[in-house]
Amino acid sequence: MLKTLRDHPDLYESIHEILALVKNAEGQTDTADEVEEKLIELVRELGVRTMKGWGDKRQEHIVDQFKKKNPDARYGKKND
């Protein structure tokens, strides 16, 4: 798991922020409602980052498959 998180620093950052909420349990200013609100936002951000990472990897995979099946295909913009 640590290797995977090292390979995806954006996900590591999200997990780190979530764990920081636990460490701040003794904080005097946060109510349970405020912590819950922060956690919901952090989990949403983690979901967005996860889906973006998945989508980027998926697109790379599809492009690589296309290039292997069509080695003579031209890539990039068409010249006018």
Summarised one tens digit per residue, pLDDT across range 15-65 is 999 998 888 777 766 788 988 999 999 999 999 999 999 999 999 999 999
Instruction: Please check whether residue 77 lies inside any domain of the structure.
Output: no
Instruction: Please check whether residue 19 lies inside any domain of the structure.
Output: yes
Q: What is the domain extent for residue 6? A: 2-66
Instruction: Please check whether residue 62 lies inside any domain of the structure.
Output: yes
In sequence order, which residues have a C-beta less than 8 Å from that of residue 67 and are 6 or more positions away?
Answer: 73, 75
Residue 52 pLDDT: 94
Instruction: Please check whether residue 42 lies inside any domain of the structure.
Output: yes
Q: Please tell me the total count of domains within the chain.
A: 1
**Tokens matching residue 53:** 């990472």
Is residue 80 predicted with pLDDT exceeding 60?
no
Cα–Cα separations (whole angstroms), residue 14 to 11, 19, 28, 75: 5, 9, 23, 35
